[in-house]
Structures are given as C-alpha cells and as structure tokens.
A and B are shown apart, each in its own frame.
Chain A
Amino acid sequence: MKTVTAETDKQRWQREVLEPGLKQAPERPGSFTTISGRPIDRLATPEDLEHFDYSRDLNNPGEFPYTRGIHPGGYRGKLWTMRQFAGFGTPEETNERYKTLLQAGGTGLSVAFDLPTLMGRDPDHELSLGETGKCGVSIVSLADMERLFEGIDLAGITTSMTINSPAPMIFAMYLVVAEKQGADWKKLSGTIQNDILKEFIAQKEYIFPPRESMRLITDIFSFCMKEVPKWNTISVSGYHIREAGSTSLQELAFTLRDGIEYVQYGIDAGLDVDAFAPQISFFFNSHSDFFEEIAKFRAARKIWAEVMRDRFGAKNERSWKLRFHTQTAGVSLTAQQPYNNVVRTALQALAAVLGGTNSLHTNSLDEALALPTAEAATLALRTQQIIASESGVINMVDPLGGSYFLEKLTLDMERGAKEYFDTIDRMGGMVEAIEQGYPQKEIAEASYRFQQAVERREKIIVGVNDYVQEDEPPYPILYIDDTAAERQLERLADLKQTRDNDRVRQSLEALRRAARGTENTMHPLLECVRAYATVGEMCDALREVWGEYAEVPLI
C-alpha cells in the first residue's frame, strides 16, 4: 500500500514560490558548499529543527551543555583575552615585542618558539642549521627564559606557550623564572600547549614515541593538580589539524577525540577525573566559512560537556566546561594582495567571537610572506579591539542562538563528530588510530580535494584564482637574518664553560632514572633546569631512554 504524506510547508513553498522564482531568476551554476565541501540547502526553517529541544540542545548560557557559552553573561563582563602569538630571534628581541603588544592593549602573552627549541635540539645540532631564531624565539637554557621575561611580572600576567614535545622542559623553566621572581606557583596562570597527539596527526613536531609522550603529559597533569592548580596543563589543538588541510568537521572530531584520549590516559594513570580535567583547555582554528565555524565552536562545547559527564562520569561542572582559544586561519591568508588578509582575518575573528571564544589571536596580514612586522601585529590586535568596541556583537550573549541554519549546522557537526568518535573507538583509541595513520590519511585526502577544487576554480580565493592583479608592489617584510643564531651559538658555548657541569650531569642522570621508572619526570626536570641544562640535553637524556618516533612517509 502506498502511503501519502502531507506536503510540508517547506515543500509547499518550494512548489508555489521557489520554483516559479527560479524560472525567472535561476541560481548561479555550480554547487553551494562550505569551504569544507559540506552541501548547504538554500533555506532552513523550523522543519529542519523538528526534533530540536531547547533545554537539551542549547539551554541558557552557563547551563549544561553550554552550547550558548560557558559564561552566563557572555562578553558583557569579561571580554575574551586578546592574546597575540609572538616570538623571533633572541629572547631580548622577543621581550621587546611583548612589551610593545602589552603597551598596545594586549591582555596576555603567547610565546612562539623556534624550530630547534620545538624539536628539542640545541643551536649547535646539525639539524638546527639555518633554523635558530627564524620561526620563533630561541630558548636554550634557563638563562634565555630569564631574558625572555625580563621586566614582566609572571604573577600578574597569563602566558601561553606553544610547546609540545619539550613542554615539560620549557614549563619547568617558566616555573623556575617565576620562583626567582618570588611568585607563588599556586597563583600562576597560563597555558602550555602540550598536545602531542595533534603533532603525530598534523604538525609533526614529535620527538618520543606516542606512549612515552603520553606519560610525560600525565606526569604534568599529576604535578599541576598539586603544585600549579590554576595552570592549563594542555591546550588540545585543532588549529594545526585544520592548517594541515582537514575539514571543519575533522578538526572538531579529531580534536575532541584527542581530548578524550588525554582524559582516558589520566584516569588510567590513577588520577581522579575531576582533579585534572578542569585544567584541560582547547584551541581551535577560525577559518573563512563563517557559519560552519560558529557551528563548530558551539558543537564543541556541547559535545565536550556530554562526554565529560556521560562518558567519564565527571561530577565537577568545571570538568564539563570547554574553554578554548582561537586563532584565525593562517592557511587562508595569501601572499598575493596581502592587504586582503586584513579583511579575511576580521571575518574569521568575528566568527570566533560569535562562537564564544575565550581567547583570540588574530593573524597579521603578512603571515603568508614572513613573520609579522610590529606594525602588522599591531593592526591585527586592533582588529580585535574594533570587534569588541565598535561592532556591538558583545552586547548580547550568543546573538545567533536560535537561527534555524546555525542550529541545524551545529546539530550536523555534532552528529558527524560522534561518527568519527565511533570509528576511532573501534580502532582502540586515538593512539592506535594514529599508529594506523588514520587521521593523517583523512586530512591528506581533504587537503588534496580542496586544492583540486581551487585548481578547478570551484572554490575561489580572491587574488589567487580570481581577481588576480599583475605587477603587485612589494610588501615590506620582517627579514630575520643569522645574527640571532650566531648570538645563541656563542651563548651556548659560554654557558657550557661557566655553569656547574657536574651538577648538570647528575641532574640529567636523575632524569634518565625517572624515565626508566615511574617517578614523576617534572621533579628531576626542575633540577635540570636549575642547573642550566639545555633543552637539547634534557631531550637527549629522554631520547636515550625512550628512543625517537619516526613516521612512515605517506602521500
């Protein structure tokens, strides 16, 4: 028997109004998809939210599942933290840039380290050739960390440090600088990125194998619960996953699944979930597809609240609340017509604010050309200040809540992320999925698909594959020469002459012992740092015990 279903209002509209209209004025050719390739219907109506439940799916700001934000008052109380990522050359040069940003109204520091530091190599290592001080600031020993924060009161500022494999070493240096300033560790606040899973997945700045790397992270969880309780012990990052070419959904799903992995490892290490989970924070990308990004941020809060309460049985509301930093999409910026990047960044920053970010970095217009000049970095900060002070979007909490389109997208993102969770759970977890190359392959596929769409001009990038301008005037960039590298090499040689090398040897031996056994590695690391052991020496000690990870190159 054939069932006849009544025509819905949307179907009626399509038949009576839309179709005649399209005959008069047809839609443009091609498909209507987000930048991630998600097809978008032309109209959302209440029919698209048929099973939507306000208190279950949204609820009020500050109430579970926090889709509308973790703070009941949105930005009417405290604005997001305007935190500009910066670092280059010697610690002194970066210290000067920090002082410029703080004087311009920046409200937090964010340290960019150079590649040797990120990879746990000293400037005199073969692989550091040409890299010292280029992509960030070079930090070799405690002496550099003291120079980096000279004249900056660590008890009075929050500092975010983008450091992963050597996170425990750099964090130990920060703690010792604070100690020397007389600051109480219990009052220190800030973040270490410390997210190794996304390194294996996307950014590829790993040193040790996955399981040993996870042990360093649970050591930090356990150390900070007692010693540095206001510190964000990890910033589970989607940013790099997205920059490596993932879709918006993949960024959401892999990041949150990484978060689940960290919580599981913490619990497996014997920690009480509610004692360490409130110190976990997140870091997302804000890319160019406006609504898809806002939906991603809102879905992230909702999924995390449910995961923490239902999957892990967390009882503390602070464990349920997903707090996140956002950075606008570096990968979306073009070397062509660089001033266009100011506009891209402003739109992406607005999406982050409408998605309820807790902290934000806006990229500088020259990001596709070089590290930012001081002028470009200031303009990027001004972009945030204009959104906060002039656009009016901060007046109402979650102003887009209830939009048929946005709520549907938020639900779609949530559903898609949970499907990815199921796939990864079936593999045994994220560490196992990484070992099988699963997220890496998914991202490589998505990145190639996007590049092909750009090549075929199905996706337009202004100034690159459309509206191209020949003979562009050169843009003045920050050029980083080798003087910082030479300076750091000289200092390293001096350091090895002047420090107590017996103390260094003994502290490194204690670190090796802890790595072989079960003692928390943070304690011997603090001793290594106080003895002025270098980042390279501390990482080498662990390399000797644990070995190094090497990925199988896949294309």
Chain B
Amino acid sequence: MKKIRVVIAKPGLDGHDRGAKVIARALRDAGMEVIYTGLRQTPEQIVAAALQEDADAIGLSILSGAHMHICPRVMQLLKEKGLDDVIVVIGGIIPDVDIPKLKAAGVKGIFLPGTPMQSIIDFINSNVRPRAEAV
C-alpha cells in the first residue's frame, strides 16, 4: 500500500515550531512520509513543495493570527496548480469565529490546542486513504 505523503509547513513569520515538529514525528511514526519544510514559508513555497513532493495532504501550523491571510491564499494556489485533491489541515490558535470561514475556503480539518495526536493521524488516514488507494 502506498504511504500517505504529508507536507508539514510553517507559514508566516512565527517561529514556534514545537507543534509542527511533534505532529511531523507523530505522523511519521504512524507510517506516513513526512516532509517538513521548516520555517517562514510563503504560500507559493508551500504549494510548490506539495507539487514537487506529490503530497496527499498539507498540514499548516500557525500560531500568529495570520491564518485568515495565509490559508485562503494556499487554497487558491492549490486550485490554480490543479492540486484540488490535496487536503489541507491546520493547527494552531484559531479563534472560533474564523473556523466557518476557513472551512468555506476549503480547509478540511482545523485542530486547536489540546487535540490528541491520534485524532490528527486518524483524520488524515480517513480523509486521504481513499485517494491514495484510487491512485
């Protein structure tokens, strides 16, 4: 069975990478191929990484409050590159009022502080698996 490929990225200027690194390791330990882009990636760089790495999913970690600028831009670029089937999940400090807007922009999963790692693994497995198997 093909391994799920996930790009974990930290967009924006925020350098708090604890969450991104912990999730990257948890996904890798759960059997996924994880590509961690490192810090301060622009939406363009993130989408280019997803394209180059043939990613099934993108995980964005944002704690700075810039999510309403970054996420819609990532979604738009994915569409432009024909990568609409790549699922996007985000983790971080996201005010409740922004959640419906992010979902409307096409973000599949939003994980707030305190989410068990297993829930994120399960979410990616169940949302990506059908696509990976169809290939």
**Structural contact, B95 and A479, CB atoms closer than 8 A:** yes
Chain A residues 190 to 218 lying within 8 A of chain B, measured CB to CB, are: 199, 203-205
**Interface residue tally for chain B (C-beta within 8 Å):** 38
A448: chain B residues at CB < 8 Å are 21-22, 25-26
Q: Is the interface of A mostly helix, strand, loop or mixed?
A: loop
What's the nearest-Cβ distance from chain B to residue A240, in Å?
9
**Structural contact, B93 and A555, CB atoms closer than 8 A:** no
Interface flag for B69 (CB, 8 Å): yes
**Structural contact, B69 and A130, CB atoms closer than 8 A:** yes
CA distance A463 to B114 in the complex (A): 9
**Structural contact, A555 and B13, CB atoms closer than 8 A:** no
Comparing A51-59, A112-120, A221-229, A356-364, the segment that makes contact with chain B is A112-120
**Structural contact, A335 and B69, CB atoms closer than 8 A:** no
**Structural contact, A553 and B116, CB atoms closer than 8 A:** no
Chain B residues 42 to 95 lying within 8 A of chain A, measured CB to CB, are: 42, 64-70, 93, 95
**Structural contact, B21 and A444, CB atoms closer than 8 A:** yes
What's the nearest-Cβ distance from chain A to residue B8, in Å?
8
Given contacts A131-B13, A335-B112, whether A115 and B39 have CB atoms under 8 Å apart is no
**Structural contact, A336 and B114, CB atoms closer than 8 A:** yes
Interface flag for A471 (CB, 8 Å): no
CA distance A533 to B70 in the complex (A): 29
Determine the residue in chain A with the shortest Cβ distance to B43: A129
Cβ-neighbour of A370 out of B8, B13, B38, B95 (below 8 A)? B95
Interface flag for B37 (CB, 8 Å): yes
**Structural contact, B116 and A465, CB atoms closer than 8 A:** yes
Given contacts A130-B70, A448-B25, A451-B22, whether A135 and B38 have CB atoms under 8 Å apart is no
B39: chain A residues at CB < 8 Å are 204, 551, 553
**Interface residue tally for chain A (C-beta within 8 Å):** 46
Cβ-neighbour of A127 out of B42, B67, B114, B117 (below 8 A)? B42
Given contacts A130-B70, A131-B64, A451-B26, whether A121 and B13 have CB atoms under 8 Å apart is yes
What's the nearest-Cβ distance from chain A to residue B64, in Å?
5
A551: chain B residues at CB < 8 Å are 38-39
Interface flag for A447 (CB, 8 Å): yes
**Structural contact, A129 and B18, CB atoms closer than 8 A:** no
B12: chain A residues at CB < 8 Å are 115, 127, 129-131
**Structural contact, A555 and B96, CB atoms closer than 8 A:** no
Interface flag for B134 (CB, 8 Å): no
Cβ-neighbour of A126 out of B17, B42, B112 (below 8 A)? B42
Given contacts A204-B15, A464-B114, whether A129 and B21 have CB atoms under 8 Å apart is no
CA distance A199 to B21 in the complex (A): 16
Interface flag for A408 (CB, 8 Å): no
**Structural contact, B97 and A127, CB atoms closer than 8 A:** no
**Can you offer 27 A-B residue contacts whose CB atoms are under 8 A?**
A115-B14, A115-B64, A129-B66, A130-B67, A131-B12, A203-B15, A204-B15, A204-B16, A243-B18, A334-B113, A335-B93, A335-B113, A369-B93, A369-B95, A444-B25, A447-B18, A448-B21, A448-B26, A451-B22, A451-B26, A455-B117, A551-B38, A552-B38, A553-B38, A555-B21, A555-B24, A555-B25
